[in-house]
Structures are given as C-alpha cells and as structure tokens.
Amino acid sequence: MFEVKFCGLIAAGLLLGISGVRAQQFGGNPPSVKWNQINTPATRVIFPVGMDSAGLRVANVVQQINNVMKPTIGTKQRQVNIVLQNQLVTTNGYVGLAPFRSEFYITPAQNSFSLGSILPTDQLGIHEFRHVQQYNNSDVGLTRFLHVLFGEGGQSLAYSIAVPNWFAEGDAVYNETLLTNQGRGRLPYFFNGYRSLWAAGKNYNWMKLRNGSYRDYVPDWYPMGYMMVAYGRQKYGDNLWRNVNNYAAAYKSFVYPFQNAVKTYTGQDYSKFRLAAFEHFKKQLVTPELQKGASAYKSNQHFIGNQEFPAYADENTVIYRKSSYRQRATFVEKTGNLERKIRLSDFTLDGYFNYQNGQIVYASRRPDVRWGYREYNEIKIVDIKTGHQRQITTKTKYFAPAFNADNSRIVAVDIPASGKYALHVLNVADGKLITAVPNPNHVFYTYPKFYNNSEIVAAVRKPSGEMSIALIDIESGKTDDLTTVDMAPKAFPVIQKDTVYFTGTWGKDDKMFALSIKDRQLFEIQSDSLKAYIGNYQPAVGSNKIAWVSFSTFGYQLHELERNRLQLKPVDALPPLPDFEIASLKMDTGANLLASIKKKALPYKKYPKFTRPFNFHSLVPYFDDPEYSFSLMGENILNTLQSELSFSYNRNEGYKQFGFTSVYGAAFPYLFAGVNYTIDRRDYGFDQNRNTVEVNWNETNLQAGLQLPLNFAGGRNYTRFNISSSINYSINDVKQVAFKSALPNNTYLNNSITFSNQIAKPYQLINPQLAQSITLTYRNTINTLNAHQFLASGTFYFPGLFTNHSLVFNLAHQRRDRNYSIFSNQLPFSRGYTSDNLYRLYKAGANYHFPVAYPDAGIANLVYLMRLRGNLFYDYTHGTDFYRSGAAFKADFRSAGAELYFDTQWFNQSQVTFGVRYTYLLDTDVFGGSGSNRFTLILPLSIF
C-alpha cells in the first residue's frame, strides 16, 4: 500500500507571503503601551508614546531619502506602516507583505563592527525603506497579476520566486553604504566570511554559497548581495538594478527571470557576472599572508567551532567561551593543552563576558513571560572553581557588564525602553544601583571597563555615529575622548595598568591598538603572525602575554603571543573607512545624503489601536481533494487582531461552508471566536421501516474561547506553557422531521494544556538532546448527549549513542464515553494503520534519529539537498471497545519501520523537509487494507 500525506501546494506557496517572512510577535505588546503616529506620503510611522524623537527622526529620514532615491529603483509609491519596537534587546528590522508593513527594533548593538555605529533609526530607516521601494516597484507583470488575484500573499510569492533574497539585502546594504559615510559595505568585518573562504581556498559552488551547510561555515546572503550589487552599480550605472528588478518581477522571461534580466542588462552570463563581482573584492581582501595562515588547517577541514572573549586567570590559564555546530556554548578554562568545562552558558545576545578574580559576569537574555515584544538582559555571576551561578538583577536591560578591581562593583550599559542610555554602577552583592552616570551628551556606551573607582573607559558612539575611546567621569558623566573622533568602529577595550588595548578598523582590516591613557599616544600592535589572521578582536592582556581571537572559515580561533614579540607603531589617528574601490559610492545619486537630512517638524497624533481592525490582505486557496476552500486573511498593523473569512466546498458530500474566525491578542489571554454555517450536509439513516434514507441538514457552529500562551524561556532552557479553553455550540436544522432527535443541537467544551521544554539545540543536531512536550486535552458536552473525551500525550527526547543521534519516546492515552463519541480521534496512532476512535487507546512508540549524509549538492538552482537523516521506529497501540452485543473488543496495532528524511532548500532560499516511510505491520489492520508492507510519502504541511 502506498500513501501520500500532502497539503495543497498553492495554499502553501501563498502562505509564504503571510508567514514565510514573518518576524513579528502576535499580540506582543501589553495594552498599557499607547501609540502615536506621523503621516507622510511615503510612510506612517507608529511609535510608543514617549518615543517622539525616534519617530520624528525615522519619518524625516524616510521622507527625504525617498524623494531622492526613487529613480534608482522606480517611482511607484504606496504608503507603508512602520512600527517602532523599543522593548527588545536587539537591533533589527523587516519589511513584509501580507500585510504590507515594517517594524524597526531600535535597541543599539554593542558590537560596532557588525552593524556599524550609526543610529538604529537612521540605519533601519535607510536599509528597510529600500525594501519598501523594492516591493512597491515589483508590482508589475505576472507579480501584479498574482497580487490582483490573491492579494499581497500572491505578490510576495511571485516576487520571492523571481528575485533572490541576496539582491534585496545587497541592494539595501548598498543603500546604507551610499547614503551614509559608513554602512556595512565599508566595514571589513562585513566581508570576513568570504575573505576566510577565499584565503582557505574554499571554492564552494554557487548553490552551496546560496544555501549553506551543516558541516561547513558558509556566509549568509548579505555580503554576497552587496558585492554583486556594488559591482553592478560600479560597472553598469545606478539604473542597472532598477531595470533588473522590474524585468524579473514582471517575468519577462518566465524561466530564470532574474538570471536572464542580469544577462539582458549587463551583456554577461549570470555565472560570469557573479565571478567578476567576487573577483573584484577577492583581489583586495586576500593576501599571501592570509593564505599562509589558512594553510595551517587541513584542506578538507570542516567547521571546528568558536573560541571567544579570552581572559587571563594567570599567565598559563585562559578563560574563554567555546561553542560549535555540535556543542552548546560553554565557559572553558584552558591551562596548557588541557581544557576544563566551567559551566554551560545561559542564553546571551552576543556571547560577551568579563572575568576578574575567579568570577565571570555576563548578561543573560530572557523574554517576557507573556509579551513577545518585551525582553530582558539580566546579570549573572559565575564562580569558575565551582561552576555555581547566581543572578543579581531581574527584569533589567543591562549590556556588557564588567567588574571593578576587587569585584565589589559592576559597571554595565543600561538601555531602557525610553532610549535614555546610561552607565550604571551596581553592587555585586545584591545587584542594586549605586550610581547612574549622567549622560549629558546623549552618547551610546559600549564595553565599559573600570579604570579606577571614579573613572570608566568605554568605546563611545556620538549621535553622529562617530566613535572614540573615551574616559568617563562617574560623578559628572563628563566624556573625555582619548582618541580622535571618527567613523572607524572601535570595540572590546581592556585595561592593563595605564594602557587601553582595543580593536579598531584600519583601512581594509580590523586591527589591535594600544592607547596610553596618560599621554594619549596611540600605537598599532604589530607582529608577523598578526598579518596571517583575518581581523584581530577581543584582546586579553596578561603580565607577559596577549591573547585575542581572529576570524576563520573554521570559526573564531584563539591566539596567544608573548608581549615582548609585539611591535608598537605610533599612529596619530585611524584612516578613513575604505570603499573597496567602489567609486560609485561617491558619485551615485544620494551619496552621503544622511549628512544633509534636516530635522523638520512633522505633526503627530494618536494612533488608535483598532485602526483598520480586519485589514484583509490575501486570498489563500486550499485544494486537497475532496476539500476545496478559499480564505481571506486579515491582520491589523499592530498585529493584535487576526481574522479569516472562508468558503469551503466538499466534493464528496456536496456541502458548502461559510466561516469567520478571529483572535485578539492584546489582552492577557488571547480572545478568540468563530462562526461556521454549513449548507446541504447529508448522511444516511434508517426510517421506521428500516429502509436506508438520505438525511439532509444545515449546520451552524459557534465558538468562543480563551488562550493563554506563556513563555518561561530563560537560563539554558526554552520552556512554554499554553492553556486554552473554548465553548462550542452546534445548531442542526434537519429537514426531515423524523430525524431531528437523532441530530440534536449540541454544546461542548474544549480544554487543553500544553507544556514544552527543551535545552538549546546546537545547529547540527537533529533534535534537542533533552526535551519534553506534553499535551492534555479534555472535551465534553454540556447537554443531554453526555459525551466526553480525554487525551494525554507526550514526547520525550534523549541523547543517542553518538553525537547528533537522538532517542525519542512517544506515550499517549485516550478515553471517551462508551457511546460512539462525537469527538474525532486525536491519538497519534501506530504508523501504517488505519485508525479508529475506540473506547480506550494506549500508545507507546520509540524512535531513533540519526544523520545519514550531508551531500551539500543541488540541481539547476531549484532544489538543494543539505542533509539526509534516518529514523528507525517501533509503535505499539492497544485499543479496547465493545461490539453491539456488548462483548468486549480488544486489539493490538504494532508496527516497525524506517523513515528517510530529506532536508532541502528550494529556489535557493526556502527550507523544505520531506521524507519516505516504510512500515511493516506486525498485526492485522482490522480497520483498513490488507498486507503488511506500507509505503508513505511524507510531504510538509507547508511547502515554504
């Protein structure tokens, strides 16, 4: 027997536009957050009350760059809603279709090398609004047709297939580099990934570069995209990508529209264009010294792991953080060649920690229990001898904490939701605030360190984005710049006596520097070995040694060197940031436009939370014979109300169903309700003469309920708890009077509790090594039918015999009323059997998952196979029931078999897992077909 489990392909594809790009949290803000808005022709900026300056800045940046930059991508304009989120601990943003909106997460990052030092409002305004312009000008040709037919989900599906994500992000990064005097396209850190591949001779094929690997480090599509967009702008002018985007989105070439668009407007084959773009940057980024450094590794070496943030415990002992694709992040103590694990790290934003006198201090990231847009960074202290950890702050947003000399105080960067950045000095004993350092110049602090009891050294960002290493007076907050103030990123300062060691950008490299606090003399740290490494970050200084980490295609690697082997070369200032020979950054339309943005007063007003509450945006068809349906999906801009209007037709019975459901997520529990009206239901029954007759009726179903999702993630575990309860009322309008009593109106309750808990899962593992998922469901009528059903099920994960192997057990029990229940069977039945809703059901199953191969191979830029993995399983289900005579019925349903799963990427950007299953039935399938051998094709519930 061969079986296919499949979900409608068209629906799944269109859902890409609704859920595939979704980064937001439904109902993520508490009702106490009030909102204002600023309206311009290009955007409506929606921001929390009190964040007026941030909202005004975004509105001005977007309005003024839009007027200048339209010609480079197209002149179509549709107003977009931008929501500013200020309670998360990350800097990020997205623009999505279905619905068309954007969100900015405006908390600045500590590491200035990764995103630069420009204000998040400016960088996100430039970068994310470029995506808005891309979407607006993609609404042409076939993409426009699908937009008209299926709404924004149709536009998103068509555009995502036609235009690769590398172009969207590369074009946006080019924009942030062009319109500012920084941008990631000028930062060496941004190119470290490709630089490391080229230095190591890792000439991966195009599909591997696009899709990644479970064994090897592969950079994401941002630097790839920037290099190709920048090279194209440099060689073919600033109209190139407008033409290519329009051609591809219109599907002027139905097959490989983007590749053909590049060839049409450059005259080069797509593959030759890529190679030329890479070669332009490769010749600037790879040196013989870097190739020599990479040659120390085996030519077939896969990713090893990261060693980060070293600190000296003594001259022979280094403390650092270690992680890999197979290993969770761990604090490690290394003496000579011996490593000792101190403790697994809690969840962190960037892995940073500070060590002093036998103790580690770091900030651990934790989400709010209920509100998904609220996060905390709480300070933890670890004793390296015992591994014992204690928490000293709760519900705080502290970053980059560091001890003073005697471990009695901690300095940390405080980033409250108000955006009023400060340095806080805390008591180590209880975490209480001792001093909030004044910040009269509104600078942003990164990686602060105590210089003495009255002064702090930190890498400081000015509102302009310029940086310096500065000395801050704790009492007054006065900032004294120890270096020149410029756009070169600086980070990771550490103090040894009266010298500050730090990393700064110098031309096309990130190098280490030493700064004398007393006389302000700046030195570049030089040695022959330093030239062999890509970037030199996170210095640690001992009495006689210096340690640091560099980037490689095998992970961040730790290095040590005797200090007497270093040369200190005096320098006056860090040179300007490089443009990597992209002259168009100085000549194209909009060059350094940010510097001329004017602060214009724009009117703002209250944003009512129920503005356009339904906001229907996409029509999603679902075809899964015999069921055919269309759903009109809706979601308001603040993402607090989701709605669905639907129509369904069942070919077997011929019934038609109309439905509406909605869920409101801004209350503490979600509130949900729905109504379905079904016409022409039919079944068969017996009349008083025992003749078979057709029974016809119309059916109305009403539902209302509450759902409380709670997120207890924190420490090293992801833990969720969900409670749901609903009341459901069914009204049956039976056309034949004789059968009205057989189908009475029905009211029932549906209650469930779901608990899940898992430890963090390294990238390469198939399943978490330890996890539990438990569900309890109870459904019961509250009328004369007296029907009920109870289900308890659980899945439990354990380590397998080898790394990346996983042992999984399933247990379940279901019981119902003795009469045939009106409730459907929900028990996960033994695989291979046709299930039935028996009086009592008991299930136990065992699974052993393991990797089979990592092909890293693809076909025609359509499908790429990252991993094959297997699963051996055994299922046992025992059921009991009663015959009509009252005699007991008992049966066992045992099966064993194997599954082979294919972890793939489609169209070089959409992850899909599917599989095949062979099942051998050890008992008779009393409710289904004959034969013991069953084959099943397992297709995903969502293609994208």
Omega cis (within 30) before 626? yes
Contact indicator for 536, 547 with CB cutoff of 8 Å: no
In this structure, what are the phi and psi dihedrals at residue 651, rounded to the nearest 5 degrees? -70, -30
Quick count: other Cβ atoms within 10 Å of Cβ 834? 13
Q: How high is the pLDDT of residue 875?
A: 98
In the numeric block, the tokens 């403390």 are attached to 319
Asked if the model's pLDDT at residue 435 lies above 70, the reply is: yes
Q: Any idea what DSSP says for residue 537?
A: E
Question: How far, in Å, CA of 257 to CA of 255, rounded?
Answer: 6
> Which tokens hold the place of 592?
């350094």
Question: How far, in Å, CA of 192 to CA of 190, rounded?
Answer: 6
Confidence of residue 736 (pLDDT cuts 50, 70, 90): confident
Residue with more model confidence, 784 or 64: 64
Contact indicator for 882, 816 with CB cutoff of 8 Å: no
The β-bridge partners of 920 are: 896, 933
Instruction: Give the contacts of 295 (CB within 8 A, at least 6 positions apart).
Output: none
Q: How high is the pLDDT of residue 652?
A: 81
Question: How far, in Å, CA of 871 to CA of 869, rounded?
Answer: 7
Confidence of residue 24 (pLDDT cuts 50, 70, 90): low
- Find, among 669, 762, 754, the residue nearest to 719 by Cα: 754
Q: State pTM to two decimals.
A: 0.94
Question: How far, in Å, CA of 182 to CA of 127, rounded?
Answer: 13
Per residue in 225-253, pLDDT (tens digit) is 999 999 999 999 989 999 999 999 999 99
Q: What is the DSSP string of 235-270?
A: HH-TTHHHHHHHHHHTTSSSSSHHHHHHHHHHSS-H
The β-bridge partners of 503 are: 491, 512
Question: Mean pLDDT of all residues in the chain?
Answer: 93
Asked if the model's pLDDT at residue 375 lies above 70, the reply is: yes
Question: What is the helix (H) or strand (E) element at residue 546, kind and residue range?
Answer: strand 545-551
Asked if the model's pLDDT at residue 941 lies above 60, the reply is: no
Asked if the model's pLDDT at residue 71 lies above 80, the reply is: yes
Q: What is the DSSP string of 475-528?
A: TT--EEESS--BSS-EEEEEEETTEEEEEEEETTEEEEEEEETTT--EEEEE-T
Asked if the model's pLDDT at residue 282 lies above 60, the reply is: yes
Asked if the model's pLDDT at residue 642 lies above 70, the reply is: yes
Q: How high is the pLDDT of residue 816?
A: 92
In order of 504, 550, 843, the CA distances from 536 in angstroms are 9, 5, 56
User: Which region holds residue 24: left if phi is over 0, alpha if psi is between -120 and 50, else beta?
Assistant: beta
Residues 505-520, mean pLDDT to the nearest whole number: 96
- Find, among 923, 878, 178, 301, the residue nearest to 584 by Cα: 178
Contact indicator for 432, 384 with CB cutoff of 8 Å: no
Sign of the dihedral defined by the CA atoms of residues 693, 694, 698, 700, in that order: positive
Residue 801's Cβ-side half-sphere holds a number of Cα atoms within 13 Å equal to 4
Contact indicator for 424, 412 with CB cutoff of 8 Å: yes
Question: How far, in Å, CA of 734 to CA of 745, rounded?
Answer: 10
Residues 456-469, mean pLDDT to the nearest whole number: 97
Helix axis angle for 165-178 and 120-136, nearest 10°, is 130
Asked if the model's pLDDT at residue 53 lies above 80, the reply is: yes
In order of 203, 799, 914, the CA distances from 867 in angstroms are 20, 19, 11
Sign of the dihedral defined by the CA atoms of residues 148, 149, 151, 155, in that order: negative
Quick count: other Cβ atoms within 10 Å of Cβ 887? 7
Residues 817-841, mean pLDDT to the nearest whole number: 88
Q: Above pLDDT 90, what percent of the chain?
A: 86
Contact indicator for 153, 620 with CB cutoff of 8 Å: yes
Contact indicator for 412, 388 with CB cutoff of 8 Å: no
The burial of 630, by beta-carbon neighbours within 10 Å (0-12 exposed, 13-18 middle, 19 or more buried), is given as: middle
Residues 135-155, mean pLDDT to the nearest whole number: 96
Residues 147-151, mean pLDDT to the nearest whole number: 96
- For β-strands 359-367 and 433-437, DSSP reports them as unpaired
